[in-house]
Structures are given as structure tokens and as C-alpha cells.
Amino acid sequence: MKVVIIGGVAGGASAAARLRRLNEQAEIILLERGNYISYANCGLPYYVGGEITDKADLTLQTPESFYARFRVDVRVNQEVVSVDPKVQTVTIKNLKHGTVHEESYDKLILSPGAEPVRPPIPGADDNRIFTLRNIPDTFKIREYIEEKRPKTAVVVGGGYIGMEMAENLTRAGLKVTVVEMMDHVVGPLDYDMACDIHHYVKTKGLELRLKEQVKAFRSEEDGLKVELSGGELAADMVLLSVGVRPDTKLAKAAGLQLSEKGAIQVDTQMRTSDKNIYAVGDAVEITDFVTGQPGYVPLAGPANRQGRIAADNICGLNSSYKGTQGSAVLKIFDMTAAATGLNERAAKAAGLDYDKVFLYSASHATYYPGASNMSLKVLFEKGSGRILGAQIVGFDGVDKRCDVLATAIRANLTAADLTELELCYAPPFSSAKDPVNMAGFVIENLMTGKIKQHHWHDVAQLPRDGSVTLLDVRTVPEYERGHIEGAVNIPLHLLRDHLYELDKKKPIYVNCQSGLRSYVACRILSQNGFDCSNLAGGWRQYHAVTSDQAFDCTPNHPCGLPIK
């Protein structure tokens, strides 16, 4: 059996290694148009910023090391210019010598990846405007910084790569502005979860220009002028990071079936519309694990699994890809943001009957030094309680909780299941009731009618004509530092003694700082005959969103609530 693989990195290289482990006799040829077959593309921004200092650390495998271990015939600087499915051949151009030859195959795996979107903006061909896809791009950016010593940079696009590059350009000594056409950075998050990031990165010196579009780049002697829909910026260099699109020119020319967005359509075995051609990685259309609908989610983890699954099926094993849920994590300076499953936009687009809860939980026992709070948002399906998605922003322990919730989604667990998870506990690592357990408890309380809730976006519509009561149960100093307009203050520890001041004929909308004390208040009120609703996420969430800044979300002073 002869297998030809077009493209290395995550999907192609993992497919090649798996093929060899399953079949020692197969002839395996891996073709890569660049110089590198397996490199840490997710680590590229950190070489720019100096966190990774050795170029060699970015290269996971060389052609020589791959051949030594797996006996795979790796050919770099070899670009496949066409595929002929009828006669099962590929036409290859040697980019060093310009020669062209054909190679036959029994099975073909396409792993061309994705390419950065370079929008048709006037002036975008300036050599001070960069994109980041591969190792040569990284070296080019680093060399430019070292040789030209730029002082300012504009990053166009506030997604994962854009924010990672903004951090690392800042670490390299540049003053950085991020331009994002959406109302928030890190698109997989909802706006209300991105607000903490907005505030935090500003404290690190980043400037954000949200809801702005780049209209043109203008070259001048002293640098670049970036013309925006709402003004103009000066920059010594620009990074375009406005997303990627599947690199499917070969597949299209070969007549393979593509999605409306241009991704290669595959079945669960990673087979294309041609039975002898498989496709994996950032070039393929995926099925969303939660909704079952088609989508496009370019991530390294799914690409690796898809490469393995394609190899399994070529070798006769019955292996299938069960969908992508988009689990991802971002380091932005010392902050961590993570997401898995659906956000609200996706849940609405899928027509799901869902609700959401907000929590503000400590990373570990608060009496043990170094605890910091994290913001959690968990989406669940009404009726069943099935977990649909989660977003977490904070510092220590964010990735761990998001991984647990990602596993819960994959296992189709419900809120009730979250309450029963037995997770590791010791004071330096967690609390006896882990934040994941707490999310289950909050959802379960809603589903069983122990509490009603309203959200930050409902507050503005609450009547201020005296027909309802807005009640703030924080301490007097907390209330005086800021509160919802029209809210009266009765601290929780005094509430039972002041119930007579409240009118049972009026619905009561209660808030505290995070939603915990107000939950306790609602339990007191409801058992005393009051109609009560709790503000999910509390004043902290409301204020963070409505002012687009939290109080102080650094680990030592997490949003005004010092942890001892």
C-alpha cells in the first residue's frame, strides 16, 4: 500500500506516524511545500515575544528524525500543484530546482491547513504589514523587530492569535493597539465574559479599538498610517490577524466536494467525496458536537485526532470522528480565558432552548494563600439540564475547570451530574465544593424552582416607578462604592430583622457582589412569602459589562474582594 500525504504539521504528521505504527510495510510519502514538516505553530507568538528563545525549540520533528523513527519518506520544498483522482496521481513541483514530476498513490491524505485571511485593504502589500502562519513568518517578524527597532504596532483582529501576538509584541517592547471590528475581543467568548479581558489588558498597556474597521494603510516616511472607520492610528508595523480560511485550492481543482464556506467535506471516517482521498485538519468542515450542525473550527487538537482516524481507516480499523466542540484556552499576560462548547450566539443560531448561569469562584480554598477568583459562565439546556457550553476568565485554575466542563459536554452530562462529580480537593488546589460542582448546584437550584434569576441585560428594563423593589444586600461600604440605580440597601446579615420594611405585593430583584449572598437573601425572602429574583453574577458582573470595566481583576485584589 502506498499512501501520499500532502501537508505536515498537526494533521498530516500525526497521520503519517499512526500509519507507520499500524503498518510497517506501507510506503508513506509526506510532501510539504515549506521547510518544516512538524512545528509548534501554537508556540510561534512566544518566539516573537522572547518567551521561547531557541529557534530549534519550535521544530518538533525534522525530515531526518521523522525518517529515523518512522521510515516515512519526507520531502520538503515540494508543492503539489494538482491531484488527478481518476488515475490516482499527484503532480509535484520541486520548489528549489523547478522540476516537476508525478507520484502515484493508493490512498491520499490532504492536510493543507488554513491560510491567513488577507483582506483587500488598500496598502496592505506594504512590507511592514505581516501575517503569522508558519515558522518563516515568525522569523521574519522577529528579525524585523530586532533590525528596525519599531516602537509601535497595530494588531488587526482580536482573536486568539491576535491577542497572543499583542501580548508578545508588548513584551518585545512595543506599544500595541488592537483593532477589532466586533464589540469584544476573543470571539468564542460572549461580550459579557470578554469585558474582564478588556479591562485587564488596558492595565498592561494595550489599547483597544473595538467596533472599528480598517479602511486603508498609508505608507509614510516615518511609518504607517492605519485609517479606521473612526479615526487614524500611526504604527511602525502591523500584524493582520483577521482569521483564517481553509486552503482548499487543490481539493477544489480535483473536484472534491466542498462546503459553502470552501472547506473540504468529509464523512466520520475523514473520507472525502472520493473514496481513496481523505482530508484532515484546518481544511475540513466539521460537525459541531453539541448541535450536530456543520461548521468550521480550525484547532490543533481536532487536527491531530483526525489524522489518527484517517490512518486507522486506511489500515482497516473502524474509527470515526465524533465532532468538534471548540475547546480552547488563551494566555493573555497573566490572565487565562478558556471556552468549550456553545456560546450564546451559537446556541441562539441553533435554536436551542437554553439558559445561563454566572459564578464568581475562588481558584482554591480562600484561607490558603494565593487564591484568585475566576468568572464562569455555563450554558445549559432548559428541561434536560444538559451542559451546552462554558466560558471561564481568570487566573489560576481556569484551564482545569474548563477541561472538566469540556469532558462533561463530551459525555452529555447534566447539571445534576456536575453536582456529583468527585474532583480532587486540597486547600492549595481547590475547595471542597469545586467551582464546577457549584455551577451544577446553581443550575439545579434554578431547575427545581428554588431560585429565580435575572441577568445584567434585564436590569435596564426593570421599572423604577415603585411597582418593584430593587434590593442590594451587600455591606454599606460596598453599596456606597457603586450600586444599581434605584436599589435600596439592606445588608444580608440584617435582612431578617428588616423584612417588615419590604412590601410582599411587589416583586423583589436582589443583588449582591457576585450572586451568592443574594441567593441566600432570596431563600430567606421566598420562605417568608416574597416573590424574589436573583441577579446572576451580581453587581460585579453588571458593572463589568455596563461600564466595560471591572473593579480590579488582578490576582491580589480580585474585583474589589480581597481574598485572605
Residues identified as active-site: 42
Q: Does residue 142 contact residue 153 with C-beta atoms inside 8 Å?
A: no
Per DSSP, 265 falls in state: P
Hey, what's the cell of 191?
461580550
Break the chain down into helix, strand, coil percent, rounded to 5.
30, 30, 40
Residues 6+ positions from 209 with CB-CB distance below 8 Å: 177, 178, 179, 180, 228, 230, 231, 233
Question: Cα–Cα–Cα angle for 396, 377, 159, nearest 5°?
Answer: 75
Burial class (CB in 10 A: 0-12, 13-18, 19+), 13: buried
Helix (H) or strand (E) holding 61: strand 59-61
What backbone phi and psi angles, to 5 degrees, belong to 449?
A: 80, 15
Q: Which of 237, 239, 256 is nearest to 248 (CA)?
A: 256
Contacts 24+ apart (CB under 8 A), 553-560: 553/196, 553/199, 553/200, 553/335, 553/394, 554/200, 554/203, 554/334, 555/334, 555/370, 555/372, 555/395, 555/396, 556/372, 558/372, 558/373, 558/394, 559/360, 559/373, 560/478, 560/481, 560/513
What size, in residues, is the chain? 564
- For the four alpha carbons of 293, 297, 299 and 305, in that order, the dihedral sign comes to positive
Residues 6+ positions from 466 with CB-CB distance below 8 Å: 506
Q: Which of 395, 128, 341, 137 is nearest to 244 (CA)?
A: 137
Q: Does residue 90 contact residue 108 with C-beta atoms inside 8 Å?
A: yes
- For residues 114 and 134, what is the distance between their CA atoms, to the nearest angstrom? 11
Q: Which of 280, 276, 242 is nearest to 263 (CA)?
A: 280
- For residues 264 and 83, what is the distance between their CA atoms, to the nearest angstrom? 14
Burial class (CB in 10 A: 0-12, 13-18, 19+), 367: exposed
